[in-house]
Amino acid sequence: MRLTHLLTPCLVAALLWPARLVAQSETPGQAPLVEEPIEEVTIIGEAAGPGLWKIRNGDNTLYLLGTLSPLPKKMQWRSREVENVLSRAKQVIPARSDVDADIGPIKAIQLYMQYRKLRGNEEKQSLEAVLPPDVFGRFETLRQKYAPRERDMLKRRPLIAAGELWREALSRSGLTGRNDVSRQVEKLAKSRKVPIVVPTIVIDDPQGTLAEVGKISREAELACIRSTLSRMESDLDAARRKAEAWAVGDIDLLRSPNASEQREACWSALQQSPKIAGIRQQFEDGWFRLAVEAVEKHDVALAVVPIDELFGRQGVIARMKARGYSVDEP
């Protein structure tokens, strides 16, 4: 069966840090919790986001839209520049993949049960039992601030607990990971009948891939949760500022690497699994190959990529320049 997932940046990360679909209700008879007011982002209404980078190969141009997650909850994205490009584009490459995995109904249930088990710690230990006292104290202080009703976090393994608390903190700050610009671009392309191409990720052993999560070292999980807590304690304002910068197209601020330490600490934990590391590499290689093919074959094409992946010595822009293409910034 072929499954389609948004990679952020890959299938396994989505499995490990799933969006909460149902809010936890209060226990009957429990006194209402008074939640601390949290500063929220100020972007409300329509916003275009940053301008487009242009990768040029003679008369051919590949336009790049750098996306960001999270973004302001109350922002509505609309870019007339993107709409203009789509009116001429021969191809669109979203920031997602097709996932080719042999998953029938029975295996899907088995994977779900396997995932539920992996969310927790061995022998059903609590988060408090597996974290050093100082780290758990920091976690609990922030949980009481951002997610006082979400006590299920206290049953999670550190890697999962870090992701759940981070999402709750972003939500309380007026941010969301569900304001998916890449999906909106794809809908616009479909409405204009522009061909859409995506890389295909092959997962031969979904159960084995998920099982490797259980083998991630405790030290790596601790590095992830410590980095997440540090960012929440000192740098959550930076996430708000970066989301606002994306909305108004402030390129200089968007180049800021403020999130890299936290993201890389958690990715390093995940990539202790060779299968998970391979999934990420398949996606990055497949997306870049399609982008190169687009600028070689089409006079106008549009590709969507997380904006952090554009910059740096190994970023998309540097790799395109290394191939001899010229690059125009917004």
Reference 329, options 48, 47, 50; nearest CA is 50
34 domain-assigned: no
Total count of domains within the chain: 1
33 domain-assigned: no
The more confident residue out of 214 and 152 is 152
Relative to beta strand 97-101, strand 200-203 is parallel
HSE-CB of 8 using CA atoms within 13 angstroms: 19
Q: Give CA separation, 310 vs 30, 67, 169, 287, 327, in Å.
A: 48, 10, 26, 13, 12
How large is the average pLDDT for residues 277-283?
A: 86
What is the reported pLDDT for 3?
Answer: 35
32 domain-assigned: no
Q: Provide CB contacts within 8 A for 22, sequence distance 6+.
A: none
Residue 92 structural domain: 2-18+42-328
How large is the average pLDDT for residues 57-71?
A: 95
Rounded to the nearest 5°, which phi and psi values hold at 128? -60, -35
Q: What is the dihedral of CA 175, 285, 277, 312, to 10 degrees?
A: -60
178 domain-assigned: yes
Q: Provide CB contacts within 8 A for 83, sequence distance 6+.
A: 188
Reference 153, options 271, 163, 227, 174; nearest CA is 163
156 domain-assigned: yes
- Number of other CB atoms surrounding residue 188 within 10 Å: 18
Q: What would the pLDDT profile of 167-219 be if each residue is shown by its tens digit? A: 999 889 888 887 689 999 999 999 999 999 999 888 888 888 788 878 888 99
pLDDT at 22 over 50: no
What is the reported pLDDT for 280?
Answer: 83
Q: What would the pLDDT profile of 224-252 be if each residue is shown by its tens digit? A: 999 999 988 887 888 888 888 999 999 98
66 domain-assigned: yes
320 domain-assigned: yes
Contact 19, 171 (CB under 8 A): no
Give percent of the chain with pLDDT exceeding 70.
81
Quote the pTM value: 0.81
What's the burial of 241, exposed, middle or buried (CB within 10 Å: 0-12/13-18/19+)? Answer: middle
Q: How far apart are CA 213 and CA 270, in angstroms?
A: 7
The single-letter DSSP state of residue 266 is H
Across 110-119, 171-180, 316-325, least confident range: 110-119
pLDDT at 11 over 50: no
The single-letter DSSP state of residue 114 is H
Q: How far apart are CA 203 and CA 282, in angstroms?
A: 10
